[in-house]
Chain A
Amino acid sequence: MSLELKPKRWAGAIREVTLGSGSRRPVTVGGGNGLPLHTFEASFPHRPVFALEITDVAPPRWIDTVRQPWNGVLGQPAAAARRAVDEFGADLVMLHLMGTHPDRGNRSPDDAAADVRAVLESVRVPLIVKGPGAGPKQNDVLARVAEECQGEGLVLHSACQEEYKTLAAVAVAYGHVLVAESPIDMNIAKQLNILLSDASMDLRHTLIDPLTGGLGYGLEYTYSVMERIRLAALGGDAMLSSPMICLVGEEAWKAKEVKVSGGVHWEVATALTLIEAGAEVLVLRHPEALARLRKQVDCWFGGETCR
């Protein structure tokens, strides 16, 4: 006897968001109308996509395992971006402007804008730009970058509940996508999206970053919040139906365990869990993790039997 599955139909769906415009080859995410990976009952016009993280200055805290694939190009964003795309097959690149942080070099907004320009010239994929973190510098840097790269559909990472007005204004003014970051808290995720739409942001140009906890460091917490966000979105809550982005590499490679062994496994395990929870843009650090995840995702969505 065969088991008949009655497909679950939801009132809502995930919003489609296109990353990159202008001189970029755009990438669209979202659009699914069912729970993550429920390909047997829902349709998913776009698969999860993978970005590799590159940095404006040599990242002091990256451990050897994850530095190794980037030998020779660390802290050289244009060259690193080329390697990420041409050799490692990244769908997108995330340039983390860590050197603009007041305590880590304090590079100027103009330096940052020049770096972003250089990356835009070296690759054609959409670009995620991560600022130095909340505070006045974040706004100065990202606002300058946004203005410099008008019309490129950059993904600006990120606005938070306390500081969203400046970035919302520049995202609107210069045609970029804005990441709304909330501290593993569904209420704040929702409230921030309400605030952003109130500040004239079209939610078709926003992503939610629910804030990732790495495997062993709060992953299950992130998982359940993402699950909640997804369920609410599918239930019809438009303020939560933006696709989600997760900075996987950053969290996974922070774990103590990666120093002992298997850093790549750690990154892959974290990412797989997050994909199951609904992540659609995953930012990784190790190209091997990307390759393995890509295989898995292709296999899930390609309809072949997975082994």
Chain B
Amino acid sequence: MSKIIAEAAIRGAYACMNRAEAMLSEAIHRHGRAKSIAFPDTAYALPVILALVGKRVEKLGDLEEALQVARTWLPAPPTEKLWLPYLGGTLDAGAATLVAHEAVEAMKPRLAFDFWLGPTPDSILREQGIKLVDGRMPGFAACVGAAPSDEVAEQLARDLQERNILVFMGGNTGGETMAAQLNRRGVEMNWETFLVPYGPDTSSIVHALGFACRAAFTFGGLRPGGIKETREILLYNKRRVMAFVLALGEVDDEKYATAAGAINFGFPVIADTDIPEILPSGICTYEHVVANVAHRDMPSRAVEVRGVKIRTVEIPIPVRHGPAFEGERVRKEDVAVEFGGKYTRCFEYLTSRPMDRLQDGLIRVVGPEIADVPEGARLPLAIFVEVAGRKMQPEFESILERHIHSFLSEPMGVMHLGQRDSVWLRISKKARDAGFRIEHLGTVLLHKLRNDFPAIVDKVQVTLFTGSDDVEKLYPEAAAAYQHRDERMGALTDESVDIFYSCALCQSYAPNHVCIITPERLGLCGAYNWLDGKAAYEMNPHGGNLPVKKVEVVDPVLGQWKGINDFIQNASNGAFLKFSAYSMINDPMTSCGCFECIACILPGTGGIMIVDREFSGQTPVGMTFSSLAEMTGGGQQTPGFIGIGTLYILSKKFISADGGLARLVWTTTRVKQKLGDKLRQRCEEIGQPELYGKIADETICTELEPLIEHLAAVEHPALALGEMI
């Protein structure tokens, strides 16, 4: 904490406290201690004092006691010799300042002139405060002081209004106030316009904090009391009331002291002047004081520093959109413009940037727009998405990028297939006629990313390159990123991490089922890999994916860890004691019902077969997929039968405890096609390049006897491995 700020705040706190005490003794002298004191139309007495001191002030005598308590919070002013760089003392001084401010506001005569609204009655609190708490209103800005000009004041107010942020105004800069500035510009100020001027003194901004405290009392069900209660109220504000202070103009001692008070609530201060910053987080979620911000940037900077999340309800594009349109095809005759497929280069590439490198919401089309090209034209396209976020990690890039497909499938009249550099995208004539442009692809991505991933995405910038040169110029970077990601994913092994992720999403119909997702074994539905689990947990710590520590190894071959076994016992409600990640024979993982494939042993072959969900015919084990599914699923451990995600077959850990890939004697052509070259490559890696050709499929046989003959004829390695059980 800056010594300058600490000194100024503490000095300011003394000044405020002295003034309040002087006013009070004067008032007591004139009216006596029994004289009542209150804000109009509220059940919360003087709410900030109620929250911070835990005392309901109804009479001047009560106020005297409250001020006495607050005075004890004032730390000794820092001197040249003695300076303890503690935030604590300054924060206490800030809290005392707020108490003094509220005392002053309560004693001073009502402002019955101009545009000042004064304290807020409970009825408005109930109507508006709930919007802060339930998120309809993203937050409030407490503006202290005045802008350098009327125009700047109006612009600032409009920018905040646009974001639906409630604006409280109080205090002055050299006699000028923001409210007077807005008034001169003819801006309407009241609770309907979300512009609420409290009063011209610095002390009046305490009403904004009173508003926050009353929201905590009313909607948080919190009660005033001792230190613990106060702490809860402050924490509630930090977590639920997304407020911040905008310090306009010179910051004097009293304003520093007031700002220190607001920091207690987790409300950071954004200043337009060059004051010392307090950057590291501690009380506030992120920075405490950020200085020297241009007025035009204040709203966005404040939103970012406070961690306010703004959700778009309606994505502003001229066509309807939603998951309902996801499977929609745009036929050749209906195409207005087309990208990719086999005709042009079309790829999508999402990358992350540092927070300060992006201009949130910027969407650009570089190259021809839809109106610039003839109907049915084929253009190259690079969808270049840059995101930034406090909690963004490079590892999440590929996850977000994978969502581009579903996002861009949602607008009516847009067809999107494929991913990475195999994208095929069409925009229909109908969509174009409705006003849809290439730019709107960016609009969709911007809002979808912000709305669906608020925990990790704070800023989004989209550039759509439609000129050949630009597309080709960006492509090598994208291709390198794809490759890099694949390599990283490949290098991620079960041994290289301490944490696996659980997935309990399927418990609702497979009661005791829980997937343990490791870097080398994805969820059996094929939809969740280890990174997805990690990202899902980051985004929603109460969701179905939890981190599970491996702790010590119980059996490295079977793939058992103490932490995992403990977790399984708990998560399966005691039904299972242990799990093997690498075996389908000894304590295999349970299977729910949504496995992509089933692997089961084939007695007499020494091997296993794998059948995928789409395959409806008979299999060598004598059962179809659906009858096998009945045996395998339901959250049971059935030795010899497991549900798997198709990609698990390529893993080095694929039933490695039971002999691994060499056990595979039969699968479907669909599985072979899906894995293709990668499966061949795995065969080579295990030193058996001919294995691929020896694995039978339904074109060779679908019964056991002929299969055994086939295996003998091709000398399949499984025969030599012996029976599995």
Identify the A interface with B (CB < 8 A).
Answer: 139, 143, 147, 165-166, 168-170, 172-173, 184-188, 191, 194-195, 198, 200-202, 221, 224-225, 228, 231-232, 235
Contacts and interface: CB of A to CB of B under 8 A. Distances in A.
B544 interface: yes
A41 B509 CA distance: 28
Given A200-B221, A202-B221, A232-B573, A185 B508 contact: yes
Interface in B207-247: 218-222, 236
Contacts of B543: 191
A147 B127 CA distance: 10
Interface in B692-715: none
A270 to B, nearest CB: 20
A195 B543 CA distance: 10
A186 B507 contact: yes
Contacts of B130: 143, 166, 169-170, 173
Given A173-B218, A173-B219, A200-B236, A187 B505 contact: yes
A107 B133 CA distance: 26
B476 to A, nearest CB: 42
A165 B573 contact: no
Contacts of A186: 507-508
B508 A191 contact: no
Nearest to A228: B511
**Most A C-beta atoms less than 10 A away, residue of B130, B134, B505:** B134
**Most A C-beta atoms less than 10 A away, residue of B136, B219, B509:** B219
B473 interface: no
12 contacts: A165-B135, A166-B130, A166-B136, A169-B130, A170-B219, A173-B130, A173-B218, A173-B221, A200-B220, A200-B236, A231-B573, A235-B574
B135 A200 contact: no
Interface residues of B, number: 23
Given A170-B130, A201-B221, 14 more contacts: A139-B134, A165-B134, A168-B134, A169-B134, A172-B218, A184-B508, A185-B508, A187-B507, A194-B542, A200-B221, A200-B236, A202-B221, A224-B511, A228-B511
Q: Is the interface of B mostly helix, strand, loop or mixed?
A: loop
Nearest to B570: A235
A139 B130 CA distance: 11
Contacts of B504: 187
A139 to B, nearest CB: 8
B126 A172 contact: no
Given A173-B221, A225-B508, A191 B133 contact: no
B575 to A, nearest CB: 11
A191 B134 contact: no
Contacts of B135: 165
A235 B574 CA distance: 10
Contacts of B126: 147, 173
Interface in B69-112: none
Contacts of A235: 573-574
**Most B C-beta atoms less than 10 A away, residue of A166, A202, A225, A231:** A166
B232 to A, nearest CB: 10
Nearest to B216: A200
Contacts of A166: 130, 134, 136
Interface in B123-153: 126, 130, 133-136
